Structure 1
Amino acid sequence: GLLYQAAMGAFRMWKDTPEKIFGAPLKGASISATIEPALLGVGYIIGPRIASIMCAGGVLSYLVLIPAIKFFGDNVTGPVAPGTVPISQMGPDDIREAYILYIGAGAVAAGGIISLFRSIPTIWHGLRGGLSDLLGQHSLRGHAPRTDRDLSMRVVVVGCLAIIAVIMAVPQLHLRGNILGAFLIVLFSFLFVTVSSRLTGEIGSSSTPISGMTVATLLLTCLAFLIVGWTAAPYFVTALSIGGIVCIAASNGGTTSQDLKTGFLVGSTPRAQQIAILFGSLASALTLGYVLLFLNDAYTVYVPVPANTELRAPAKEIGKTAKLQGLQAASDPKMYRVWQRMDPEGGAAQRYLVNQQSVPVYLVDPGINGTHRVRPDGSAVQKFDAPKATLMSYIIKGILSHKLPWALVLLGAMIAVVLEMSGIPSLAFAVGVYLPLASSSPIFFGGMVRWLVDRYLRVKFHHKNLSETELTAEGDKSPGVLLASGYIAGGAITGIVIAAKEMVGSLAAIGHRIEEWQTVHNPFLSGRSADLLALIPFFIICLLLYLVGRDLLLVSRSKS
């Protein structure tokens, strides 16, 4: 995974996103694939069913909804809200940004809520069992054996109070002195950590409905804010902070329970494990935020705003000073002021750099959830999609400000309802509707490789009369899962290194020159056949994954 991603991303040896845009009679339709090893590995691990359902959602978006919007809107002279330009002037990505994202968000929200309601019996069972275990702990104290020794409850209480104090002290969370916010954090964290811990032991961590719990937290938090009249913009951040904290707490609760169960099986001391988990959580909390900010800044594009623009930034909305960063920093060293513009129709917020006359000079397109994939100099830029983050923002804005294109959101919700009535998991399909088809199609290829490997295993173990669960377990133990994990880890590490290169001016310039040379001389990167030729190395790693999954390649000595 590391070598493949380096060859494709750093040295630009082949195109990273082959694409085909259709004309009439299917005008507006397109297919594409971001041929990264990490996405291929994800598809192999999650299996053919979920991978196919996710890709089906992308097919609905790019081969049905976008062409339908293009067909009906091509002859409309003016823009159709929430779009700002006529549909006749939009490409597939523009239509997705203006309309499909809201449909996908509605489908994801409905899928999450349906998943939560379907899980209520399990959640209630988990909560009741967890509370019973908690209330019965006093009888286990005393001279407990080493394998039953936990951290002192005094340490836990002091730690909880310290966390609450830190949360209340951070000004960016808008929770300072907010008693209601603190109460909601404690209430929902206690509830969903207990539920998550119990469910992890019963159905596994990957099946625990963390998304549904987070959606429920946001819905209830926003409704509480609505009742007390907290609908101003600062409370949007407060609601998001509460939801984020509860989401992390629930996720860590399930992970901790799984770790402690593994420790129990091998005879570990729970107290030592809990101390190690504290250090691990602290390390990730101190690093992952910076990694996300780093990736966002590395792939941010500064799009010049036309000089004749009529946009003007209100003085009260202009914030701190900033200048261009990354590869574009050398093109304009001047300092500007930041304007965070909120769309009056409830659409996505936009960030601008404005001059002394309050005139926008650059649109700041972020690396995460950004839409501009080409810099002004023509160099390509990778973007990262975060569907759950967008979903959470839509829930908050929809309840507290009532500014959402509800027709599109409800259309997406109805898609989720139809899928549930058909017996299809709506949440996986809805995520596919929201994500670009380029992201879900390589996941589909990974799922198909896993399907072929599972077919072989089914024949191999036919004489043992294994159940479906046992066959799935055999597939999970195959070397293909290890290689798929390597694809994910190698691709992720290389992606971070490439992002670091983008932040260093000299290295970014070298990378830009490499891309320019490859664009001129390499048919795998540019030219009429580049989209087809770029699939060759991708199919090679697909074949490698299949051969390893079938124990035909890289077989361990014990097996050989």
Structure 2
Amino acid sequence: MAVATDPAASPEPDDTFQPAVSHKESPPEFTVMPIVVGSLLGIIFAASSLYLVLKVGMTVSASIPVAVVAITLSRFLWKRSGQKSILQNNIVQTAGSAGESIAFGVGVTMPALLLLGYDMTLSRVMVVSLLGGCLGILAMIPLRRVLIVRLHRELAYPEGRACAMVLRAGETETGSQPAEHGEPRAEQKKGGGSLAVFGGFALAFIHKVVTEGMALLVSTVKLPLKVVHKTAVFANEMASELLGVGYIIGLRTSAIMMAGAFLGYLVIIPLLSYIGSNSDFPVPPGDKLISEMSTKELRDNYLLFVGAGCVATAGIISMLRTLPMIVRSVVDMAKGSKGGGEGATDVKRTERDMSLRTVLIGSAALLVVLAGFLFMETSGKTASPILAGIGGALLVVVFGFLFVTVSSRLTGEIGSSSNPISGMTVATLTMTCLIFLALGWTSSIERVLALSIAAVVCVAASNGGTTAQSLKTGHLLGAT
């Protein structure tokens, strides 16, 4: 669940922060070649991420590998044109990492259609991906000034900072490195940061080969704690990517995550097993007696829903706490969108936001397309397809903006790889099904409708968190 950080602790932008590229400079950034290269890398990493999520149910952020590839390709593609800049490499990693986040959202939701007996058509997957991706971006835009700028010192955004470090390390000239938590940038020697970053890659690669490729070392250790309860388990996974994320997010947030794991596996699961041991019938959603369930079965059937409820509750609290700052951000966007308005021409290059008018028009268009898509999904199969389309679109927008806010903030605290998108998806699906149950919508097509709503929200939350990381990278580098 979200860390209770006071959003009012840093209400204004940090004036001491200096990006790698000054706002007074105007290097090439949003050009054709980085967009094309980033899109191709996004397709490649989306395919690999989709395979990983279908195989093990999780994936890791692709932003750092994409950034490394971007550095390599930039030396051969657009450096010869004399227009190479670090901001172009940032565009490549932004576009490439978006593919991974969308693939994750699709991979954890769309296969459920097959389990319900429906065909997972290409058109449905494309529409869910497109609508969810657009919703994640549109919902994140008003949060940029709040989460990325005003809370610069409070939210680490580990992958975003790591990407900035990688891109800076890839520069061949002596330059300035974005410092940790908004401190003034410090000069680094040529190649010093690059040696450290790529040395870390080499160590992680060797560790993966030794543990998973050659199986010379065991990466996961499980220790049953029968002295506590027969279902209590202490498990530890020595993963290089998780060690890196833990180092970046710091001791406090890492300790909170570990406390959650201890609470779940050493308190809640043994308590569930003890309370349900005398039950002579299965307790839904489980399909067998609690006394016969293993630790994994108790987690999948009960603990997962407890976690989803915690995520949803923390999300609502987080949204309420940051609501005043979100309103201020929207007001700032409204002032900046007035052509010829006061200060309209004085906005720094690094503070240029998409106009509020564009966000509102895009949101309205997205709402119409969502309603049309859900109407077509239910037309001729339910008694009220119009109500299903409009109501479903409203649920997508409400849950989407809620969980994009949660996801964008959580990625700043614990990183994209640890972001509980599955918990947000379960919470969305559970609340949607409760609403449908109250309306008497219990047919098979309504189940597909609920799943479609959850799928769009899942993609939106996943892409919103990745977008937040990319915006953090851009903020550190001095991008628009």
TM range (shorter): 0.3 to 0.5
TM-score (structure 1 length as normaliser)? 0.35
For the pair shown, the structure with the greater C-alpha radius of gyration is 1
Q: Which has the higher contact order (CA 8 A, sep 6+)?
A: 1
